[in-house]
């Protein structure tokens, strides 16, 4: 039985997110300002038995500190690992954040300024108030949401602007990812009110405000969205664009495409059109070209009606490239691309899933050191700041939505599907312009053999292709090739397998035959290119044995090498990529198969290499030398 308390408020406000406006990444320009609200917020977890006291007593109406004891909470960060309180680490329910902000007087004085409050992401369900007035709510833990708050802060310009955000991490059968709340009623075993959050995925359900919160301004008439699709013909690049403007009845635009040196290469005054770029510099992946990640800048100027002054200006980075899939290849700019990359998590000590620049830059340095040219955003959309890094560095991305752990047949119902479609709308809206994103992944290891999976995935994939006809769509399967209901609808088959680990543990000798059979079966049935989207083995750093035994660094090495031997045969045919599970060790729920987290990283959680990192580095640089066009300084063996 599910008690109304924890979930009641969730259901009360379960409106689906609507995608009726753009979600351009906030940026400063001559017409826009940004004020970051990162730092310490007041925080209070609602530990009342039904988790509903905050709503019953309207904690949003006054300062949070007046409702009861508050603690300091950094934003962005997960709250779970910040204190020594075990009940907060494993908390399920509503937590409350609050911060007072001094809004620049000119923002308040100028009625012609839109002031927008934006949350990069908060896990999982959020409600936002400004000075006690609700301004928005949002379902979903990995994508941004925002609200225009200008009129509210202008009501009483003398008081500071008080922002209250309530966040609930409860997962139900209809959330993405799904989960269930289970109450234990046997009073001989469990205390009164005891319940657990069950999840069907293998990472810790970190919660809180995970990405930056900020205020930004735009003029009343503003550039609301830009969509670009790129192509090329011989030496000419084609940038098809559409600009959407809000707050103006007619829009006079100046659209200018500039190269890296800020020279104009094409321009237009139309709201949509195709810009032609002579002698185009294409966007290439890292290690595939000597100048990877080349970005043009698309400056969109919204002019006042008399065309003499600019009302709004927004500049979008644009990489010109194409993506195509054949029955045996993945083509970027019509050249075969082989994914030699990693699966990641947003995960680190203390911060949990909170965005952290030192960690992001370190991870990029490690990926480049490894010779990785790609990663999958397992198992949810990552911060847009990370995709911007990928655009600039030429790291190719398979962009995954939070459809992980869809195992219960009740999570294939209409309400779940409607929400899943809405999440894809939001994901594509946010990430459509990133050249690094080359494929959408709509789910990871769903129970794809269940009868409802066929309708579910057919609808989901068709919908995603409708949103973005330019990128292939996949989901990640671990189900049997003969029974997988969704596979006929994907463009690329992505398969996870853990031979000699979850199957035949300890028997490294089965890997060649089982992996070969896996590939032959999938290709034989579907004639689509295949990515090994996960493989690997846990290794506790510093644990050694020879002959290799499970959980030692040697065993992890041999698993990798045996998989690699088969990849080397099959990549000559139809295997188009290999993504190691995982880049780094990461936190999971506690359980008998996890020793303080999942240890399949080739780096530790603190980003130090295990022996496997060196095996992978050798291989990836060798692959890059075979498949890419490397500048001399990166020739293998490299000195990076
Ligand atoms: C998988 C999952 C991933 C797990 C991994 C493992 O198949 O997709 O989330 O962490 O296996 O290590 O069990």
Band the pLDDT of 310: cuts 50, 70, 90: confident
Residues 492-513: pLDDT tens digits? 999 999 999 999 999 999 999 9
pLDDT, average across residues 50-66: 97
**Residue 581 near ligand 1, beta carbon < 6 Å:** yes
Q: Are residues 214 and 244 in the same domain?
A: no
**CATH code, domain with 133:** 2.60.120.260
Q: Is residue 28 part of a domain?
A: no
Average pLDDT, stretch 24-30?
98
Please tell me the distance between residue 64's alpha carbon and the centre of ligand 1 in angstroms: 40
Residue 18: pLDDT band with limits 50, 70, 90: low
CA–CA dist 575, 532 (Å, integer): 8
Q: Which two tokens stand for residue 155?
A: 């009501």
Asked if 117 contacts 161 with a C-beta cutoff of 8 angstroms, the reply is no
Q: What is the pTM of this model?
A: 0.96
Q: How far apart are CA 622 and CA 628, in angstroms?
A: 10
pLDDT score of 59 more than 90: yes
Instruction: Over range 74-84, report the average pLDDT.
Output: 98
Region 51-58: mean pLDDT is 98
Residue 537: what are its φ and ψ, rounded to 5°? Answer: -155, 150
Which CATH number does the domain housing residue 529 bear? 3.20.20.80
Rounded Cα distance between 424 and 475, Å, is 13
Whether 312 and 372 map to the same domain: the answer is: no
Is residue 333 in some structural domain?
Answer: no
pLDDT above 80: residue 88: yes
Distance 555 CA to ligand 1 centre (A): 18
418 and 395 both lie in a single domain:
yes
Protein residue whose Cα sits closest to atom 7 of ligand 1:
496
pLDDT digits (tens, 9 = 90+) for 267-301: 999 999 999 999 999 999 999 999 999 999 999 99
> 564: CA distance to ligand 1 center in Å?
19
Structural domain contains residue 140: yes
Secondary structure (3-state) at 639 = coil
pLDDT at 583 over 90: yes
Contact predicate 355/212, CB 8 Å: yes
pLDDT in the model for residue 103: 95
Q: Which of 516, 513, 555 is nearest to 532 (CA)?
A: 516
Neighbouring CB atoms inside 10 A of 160's CB total 13
Mean pLDDT for 455-465 is 98
Instruction: Output DSSP code: residue 638.
Output: P
Distance (Å) of CA 170 to CA 58, 134, 179, 185, 403: 20, 21, 8, 19, 16
The residue range of the domain holding 270 is 222-318
Render pLDDT for 467-490 as a digit per residue (tens, 0 to 9).
999 999 999 999 999 999 999 999
Per the structure, how many domains does the chain have? 3
Count other Cβ atoms within 10 Å, centred on residue 591.
8
Q: Is 497 in the pocket of ligand 1 (CB under 6 A)?
A: no
598 lines ligand 1 (CB under 6 A): yes
Is the model's pLDDT at 392 over the cut of 70?
A: yes
Instruction: Give me the residue label for tokens 């709201």.
Output: 271
**Distance from residue 456's CA to the centre of ligand 1 (Å):** 22
Residue 159 pLDDT = 86
Residue 391 Cβ inside 6 Å of ligand 1? The answer reads no
* Residue 398 near residue 330, CB atoms below 8 Å: no
Closest residue to atom 6 of ligand 1, CA basis? 202
The pLDDT confidence band at residue 317, using thresholds 50, 70 and 90, is very high
CA 506, CA 233: separation in Å to the nearest integer?
Answer: 53
Does residue 535 carry a pLDDT above 50? yes
Residues 60-71 have a mean pLDDT of 98
Predicted local confidence at residue 72, as pLDDT: 98
Q: Which of 581, 583, 588, 602 to probe ligand 1 with, by most ligand atoms within 8 A of CB?
A: 581
Residue range 130-181, pLDDT digits in tens = 999 999 999 999 999 999 999 999 998 888 899 999 999 999 999 999 999 9
In angstroms, what is the span from residue 399 Cα to ligand 1's centroid? 17
User: Once rounded to an integer, what is the mean pLDDT over residues 187-207?
Assistant: 97
312 lies in the same domain as 412: no
Tell me: pLDDT of 382 over 90.
yes
| Alpha helix (H) residue ranges in 76-210 | 86-89, 105-109, 150-155
In a domain, residue 434? The reply is: yes
Q: What is the pLDDT of residue 634?
A: 60
Catalytic residues: 445
Which atom of ligand 1 sits closest to the CA of residue 201?
Answer: 9
pLDDT of 636 higher than 80: no
600 lines ligand 1 (CB under 6 A): yes
- The chain-wide mean pLDDT, for the chain, equals 95
39 occurs within a structural domain: yes
Per-residue pLDDT band at 620 (split at 50, 70, 90): very high
Q: What is the pLDDT of residues 320-358, one digit of tens each?
A: 999 999 999 999 999 999 999 999 999 999 999 999 999
Instruction: Tell me the percentage of the chain whose pLDDT exceeds 90.
Output: 92
Q: Quote the pLDDT of residue 631.
A: 61
Among 196, 218, 240, where does a domain finish? 218
Do 349 and 498 reside in the same domain of the chain?
yes
In a domain, 147, yes or no: yes
Contact 144, 78 (CB under 8 A): no
Q: Which pLDDT does position 627 carry in this prediction?
A: 76
| pLDDT score at 632 | 58
What is the arithmetic mean of pLDDT over 392-412?
Answer: 98
Q: 466 and 511 in one domain?
A: yes
Quick one: average pLDDT of 419-433? 98
The CATH number covering residue 282 comes to: 2.60.40.10
Backbone torsion region of residue 592, taken as left when φ is above 0, otherwise alpha when ψ lies between -120 and 50, otherwise beta? alpha
Our answer on whether the CB atom of 445 is closer than 6 Å to any ligand 1 atom is yes
* Predicted pLDDT of residue 11: 42
Q: At what angle do helices 414-431 and 384-393 cross, to 10 degrees?
A: 50
For residues 370 and 288, state if they share a domain: no
- State if residue 496 touches ligand 1 by the CB under 6 angstroms criterion: yes
| Residue at 200 is within a domain | no
Q: What is the mean pLDDT of residues 376-402?
A: 98
Over residues 5-11, mean pLDDT: 45
479 within some domain: yes
Question: Which string of b and e fits 371-396 if b means at least 16 CB within 10 Å?
Answer: bbbbbbbbbbbbbbebbebbbbbbbb
Q: Residue 304's pLDDT band (boundaries 50, 70, 90)?
A: confident
């Amino acid at each position: 039985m599910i008690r109304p308390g924890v979930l009641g408020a969730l259901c009360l406000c379960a409106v689906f997110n609507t995608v009726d406006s753009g979600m351009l990444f906030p940026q400063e320009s001559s017409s826009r300002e940004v004020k970051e609200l990162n730092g310490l917020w007041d925080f209070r977890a609602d530990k009342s038995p039904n988790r509903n006291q905050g709503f019953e007593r309207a904690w949003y109406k006054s300062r949070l500190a007046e409702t009861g004891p508050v603690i300091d909470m950094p934003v962005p960060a997960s709250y779970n690992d910040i204190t020594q309180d075990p009940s907060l680490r494993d908390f399920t329910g509503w937590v409350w954040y609050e911060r007072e902000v001094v809004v620049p007087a000119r923002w308040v004085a100028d009625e012609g300024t839109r002031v927008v409050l934006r949350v990069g992401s908060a896990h999982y369900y959020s409600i936002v108030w400004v000075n006690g007035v609700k301004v928005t709510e949002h379902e979903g833990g990995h994508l941004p949401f925002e609200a225009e708050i200008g009129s509210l802060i202008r009501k009483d310009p003398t008081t500071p602007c008080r922002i209250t955000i309530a966040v609930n991490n409860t997962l139900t059968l209809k959330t993405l990812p799904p989960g269930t709340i289970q109450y234990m009623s046997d009073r001989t075993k469990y205390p009164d009110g005891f319940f657990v959050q069950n999840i069907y995925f293998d990472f810790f359900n970190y919660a809180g405000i995970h990405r930056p919160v900020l205020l930004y301004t735009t003029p009343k008439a503003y550039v609301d969205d830009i969509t670009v699709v790129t192509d090329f013909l011989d030496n000419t690049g084609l940038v098809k664009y559409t600009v959407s403007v809000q707050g103006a009845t007619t829009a006079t635009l100046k659209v200018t495409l500039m190269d890296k040196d800020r020279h104009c290469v094409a321009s237009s005054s139309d709201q949509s059109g195709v810009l032609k770029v002579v002698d185009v510099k294409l966007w290439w992946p890292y290690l595939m070209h000597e100048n990877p990640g080349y970005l043009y800048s698309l400056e969109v100027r919204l002019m006042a009606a008399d065309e003499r002054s600019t009302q709004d200006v927004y500049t979008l980075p644009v990489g010109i490239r194409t993506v195509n899939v054949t029955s045996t290849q993945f083509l970027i700019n019509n050249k075969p691309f082989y994914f030699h990359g990693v699966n990641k998590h947003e995960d680190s000590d203390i911060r949990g899933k909170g965005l952290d620049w030192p960690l992001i830059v370190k991870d990029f340095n490690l990926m480049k050191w490894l010779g990785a040219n790609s990663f999958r955003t397992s198992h949810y959309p990552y911060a847009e700041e990370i995709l911007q890094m990928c655009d600039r560095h030429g790291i190719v991305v398979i962009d995954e939505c939070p459809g992980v752990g869809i195992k219960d047949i009740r999570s294939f119902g209409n309400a779940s599907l409607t929400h899943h479609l809405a999440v894809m709308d939001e994901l594509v809206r946010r990430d459509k312009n990133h050249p690094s994103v080359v494929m959408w992944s709509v789910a990871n290891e769903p129970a794809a053999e269940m009868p409802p999976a066929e309708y579910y995935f057919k609808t989901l994939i068709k919908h995603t292709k409708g949103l973005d006809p330019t990128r292939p769509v996949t989901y990640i399967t671990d189900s049997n090739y003969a029974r997988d209901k969704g596979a006929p609808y994907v463009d690329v088959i992505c398969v996870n397998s853990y031979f000699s680990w979850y199957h035949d543990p300890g028997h490294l000798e089965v890997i060649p035959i089982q992996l070969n059979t896996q590939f032959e079966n999938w290709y034989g049935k579907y004639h689509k290119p295949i990515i090994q989207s996960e493989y690997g083995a846990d290794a506790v750093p510093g644990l050694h044995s020879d002959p290799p035994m499970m959980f030692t660094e040697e065993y992890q090495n041999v698993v990798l090498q045996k998989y690699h031997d088969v990849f080397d045969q099959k990549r000559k045919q139809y295997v188009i990529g290999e993504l190691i599970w995982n880049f780094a060790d990461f936190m999971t729920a506690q359980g008998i198969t996890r020793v303080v987290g999942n240890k399949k990283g080739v780096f530790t959680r603190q980003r130090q290499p295990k022996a496997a990192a060196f095996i992978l580095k050798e291989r990836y640089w060798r692959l890059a030398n075979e498949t890419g066009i490397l500048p001399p300084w990166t020739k293998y063996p490299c000195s990076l």
